Amino acid sequence: MTVSSALTCALRFPCTLTPRDLEAAHGPIRVEISEPALARVRQCRDFVDELLRSGRPVYGATTGYGALVGFSAGADLTRHSQGLVDFLSVGQGPPLAPELVRAMLLARVWSLAQGNSGVSPEVVTALVEVLGTGLAPVVPEYGSVGASGDLVPLAHATAALMGRGEIFAGGIRLPAVHALAAAGLRPLTLAGRDGLALVNGTALTSAAAGLACAQAVRSVTAGLALTALLAEILGVETEFASDALARASGHPGAVEAARLLRTRLSGARPSGLRPLQEPYSLRCVPQLAGAVLTSVRHAEEVVVADLNGVSDNPVFFPDTGGVVHGGNFFGQPVAFAADLLSSALTQLANLAERQLDLLMDPHRNTGLPPSLSAAPGREHGLTGVQIAATALVVAMRRAAIPAAMQSIPTNQSNQDIVPFGTQAALTAYEQTRKLRWVHGSLAVGLRQAVHLGGRLPTSAAGAEFIGRLCAAVDPVDPDRPLDADIRAAADLLDGLCASCLEPAQG
């Protein structure tokens, strides 16, 4: 796959799709499928056609779908394929973010292009063409149990590519047929097994979890950068980031977190006015952030495996003549990983909220005014910022309830156990958005602390960070609305931390 500027690799086996690649699909991207890969797709499609001519039973082609597998399919395979999209177009709720839907399409084409799904080459090409535009099908949030893949969301996306439903084009919601025509694309026509191949995979689950992983890597770095700046502003001793201490714990994540803290704190000069032992929200950051980092990298490893696997049923092996009916569409691995990610990100938000509280408490903040107010009583400083941060943390805690074991039998007990990986992944994706705002709140607090007489950083990293913060956020004096400032600080953190941690290797 080749994507101008953002993504510069080719789809040649082996070729690993990563969460960062999913982020590149936010806008138009150029995807190239190598001729050997397309040849394999054609070979698999020809193999499926040969199987159907031979009369060999193939799920979803010669049979009904799901619990109706015991009934024969109609003779018109095109109608059978398109009918699947019809009866699965039942999603409800608000539309998914366009960048999430586009990442889902990229994940699906990556799976189909491996040549084990029996899809027509024209379908792969059509997905590539859509990714080359800025179009994003309108896909409702609810409908998938994440068991036979993301059936309902992928059906809505497929229907839009067929010219039904709606598509986002430049942020505007248009009838799909009009959006396709304006982009110079023809509506997709399904034939044979195309419908089942398009909907029978974990593309939304892996895409949402992948985007969450990409943001989570930045959020870990942001949390460490904020911690280091807080330590300098308060004049904290830096031995909590000791390499020897972290290595004694036996946890590689803690060692890495401590290293990153020491890098940022290089040149810091403690005030000597702080207590021997700091609160846990400072003293235990390497241990906490290190555990989050370990969890994020584990989740990313699972997601990368899913993105680069074949999530379909049945799976075809033309070289050996095999047709294997099974459960590769069962999204349990990513469900567990996404739940872990939600929990880890929530603890990172807990940490930032407690650090903001420490910064605003005159009994613990080394002489700064209460609530970081320029004139306590007449002005209220960051009082509202802290309240909103607390609300965000509680929202994250409530959302962190695991989804991966919330199984409810459905589909006449054909799907008698389901992983709800889609909901787990979408929750993790939403958790990253809330965490950004919590981190943005702490960043605004640190900027205000410097305005009110907090110690200026003496480390190079800290000086650069506070300089950029001061340029992006004005001091709060007098009181004013700060909602936009929080978002601006969150964006600044994303830019600061975009390349500080390497992604997990697939």
Asked whether 447 and 475 are in contact (CB, 8 A), the reply is: yes
Range list of H helices, 308-412: 332-360, 383-399
Residues taking part in catalysis: 59
The 3-class secondary structure across 263-317, one letter per residue, is: HHHCCCCCCCCCCCCCCHHHHCHHHHHHHHHHHHHHHHHHHHHHHCCCCCCCEEE
User: In angstroms, rounded to a whole number, what is the distance separating the alpha carbons of residues 455 and 451?
Assistant: 10
In DSSP terms, 323 is beta-bridged to 316
> What DSSP string runs through 190-218?
--TTHHHHHHSS-HHHHHHHHHHHHHHHH
Helix, strand counts (H, E) of the chain: 18, 9
Closest CA relative to residue 409, chosen from 7, 122, 66: 66
In DSSP terms, 410 is beta-bridged to 415
Closest CA relative to residue 391, chosen from 423, 434, 430: 434
